[in-house]
Amino acid sequence: MTAIEVQPDKDPKTRPERSVTTGGTILRLLGLVVFTAFSLFFIYLLLSDGYWPLALLIGVITILINYIFLSPNAYPMRWMSPGLAFMLLISVYPIAYTIYISFTNYGTGHLLPKAQVIDILESRNYLPEASGTLNYTVFRNDTTGEYALWLVGPEGNTFFATVGDEFTAEEIGAGALDEDSVPTSIPGWTRLKKAETVRNITAISANSFGLEETAVQVTGRLGQAARLEQRFVYDPEQDAIIDKRDNIIYFADMTTGFFTAKDGSKLNPGFQVTVGLKNYQRFLTDPTFRGPLLLIFAWTVVFALLSVLFSFALGLMIAVVFGRNMPGQRIIKSLLIIPFAVPQVITLLVWRGMMNPLQGVIPRMLQEIFNMPVGWPP
């Protein structure tokens, strides 16, 4: 019988160290630089919109990722870091944010942070009484996609207004005018029909046409433009919104989440504020909440139990009665896949919304980075 020699483990100090190439180090550092740059920009956008909890979490994740990939002691965590980051974003953050929301007035009329509400109010314009209106027709540049207005005044005078340039009606090579005093064609520009104007009215309304001192904007009435003025202006010293049209000051009320005037009138929408335990007190003392909640909780438990029970019973019955010779196996298997495919379809719809060139978060971020609109179709 031959004896088996067992070699003792080598001294850990004498084991060869893991080799790290210069190229790999450079790629890792470049990846960290790009990741950190996008994270900081995303944090800036979140803070400017008032979403400080998510901005704080993104900042923590960015610091942890940099530490894990820069520290040799944290090398084993590199393979776990993507999963940990997504776990924090998808699982931990929603739970923590839901708990935080329960201490605020979040609900109908108070869906947005204060910074976003101020931006919405400041974007509202009004038509001064002394300002007249002009009829407009929209043209779109064939090269850049920018919009321009062909304006017709009350006396029949015409102007061609582009963004940031002086009004002009000369040297644009306009073709013959139709019965509405609008050229049928302009070289390098495409005249939009009313249906196309309606589809693109959001993008058109975001522009001011002409120089700053004489610029006009499209009004709420299709086909009419005028020199509009900003109605609401935020004063940070007073923490108030000033109504320039009606000369009213609306002060921020941090207990109700509204900008409120001295006469009690409020501006909509409101903003989120913390209300302490008010929601829990209302929940425990208001019978209109307690009654439905008990029914909802009971139905949730019963539905979960019955769903599992009926699914198990139906599957067991099919297995016992038909077995492997059951007809229509492919159809039944196809039907069983449908519940698993539905979340994927919803995911596609979510991504479609995120990629929307007008309102999607991804095109808006790219536009902020590269200072140019995204050109892919909606």
Q: φ and ψ at 245, to 5 degrees?
A: -75, -45
Q: Is the pLDDT of residue 279 over 70?
A: yes
Pairing of strands 158-162, 232-235: unpaired
Q: Please report whether residue 77 resides in a domain.
A: yes
Q: Please report whether residue 250 resides in a domain.
A: no
pLDDT at 10: 53
Q: Please report whether residue 219 resides in a domain.
A: yes
The verdict on 151 and 202 lying in the same domain is: yes
The CATH number assigned to the domain holding 196 equals: 2.40.430.10
Mean pLDDT of 329-352: 74
Of 274, 242, 234, the residue nearest 257 (C-alpha): 274
What share of the chain in percent tops pLDDT 90? 25
The verdict on 154 and 218 lying in the same domain is: yes
The three-class DSSP label of residue 140 is strand
The verdict on 306 and 362 lying in the same domain is: yes
DSSP string of 152-172? E-TTS-EEEEEBTS--B-SSS
- Predicted TM-score (pTM) above 0.85: no
Q: Which of 68, 101, 134 is the last residue of a domain?
A: 101
Q: Please report, for the chain, how many H helices and E strands are present, in that order.
A: 11, 13
Q: Is the pLDDT of residue 272 over 60?
A: yes
Q: Please report whether residue 75 resides in a domain.
A: yes
Q: Please report whether residue 14 resides in a domain.
A: no
Mean pLDDT of 142-164: 85
Q: Please report whether residue 50 resides in a domain.
A: yes
The verdict on 182 and 131 lying in the same domain is: yes
Number of domains in the chain: 3
pLDDT at 227: 84
The verdict on 301 and 359 lying in the same domain is: yes
The verdict on 141 and 216 lying in the same domain is: yes
pLDDT at 214: 77
Least confident of 52-56, 154-158, 238-242, 361-365: 361-365
The verdict on 129 and 224 lying in the same domain is: yes
The verdict on 75 and 148 lying in the same domain is: no
Higher pLDDT, residue 337 or 314: 314
Beta-carbon contacts of 177 under 8 Å, excluding residues fewer than 6 positions away, are 158, 183, 184
Q: Is the pLDDT of residue 16 over 50?
A: no
The verdict on 213 and 180 lying in the same domain is: yes
The verdict on 96 and 140 lying in the same domain is: no
Q: Please report whether residue 335 resides in a domain.
A: yes
Mean pLDDT of 112-127: 89
DSSP state of 209: B
Q: Which of 230, 251, 275 is the last residue of a domain?
A: 230
Higher pLDDT, residue 167 or 19: 167
Higher pLDDT, residue 147 or 375: 147
Q: By residue range, what is the domain housing residue 160?
A: 125-230
Q: Please report whether residue 339 resides in a domain.
A: yes
Q: Which of 230, 253, 274 is the last residue of a domain?
A: 230
The verdict on 129 and 86 lying in the same domain is: no
Q: Is the pLDDT of residue 8 over 80?
A: no
The CATH number assigned to the domain holding 43 equals: 1.20.58.370
Residues 53-78: tens digit of each pLDDT: 889 999 999 999 999 988 888 888 88
The verdict on 145 and 225 lying in the same domain is: yes
pLDDT at 378: 55
Q: Is the pLDDT of residue 2 over 70?
A: no
Task: Report helix angle 52-70 to 22-49, nearest 10.
Answer: 170
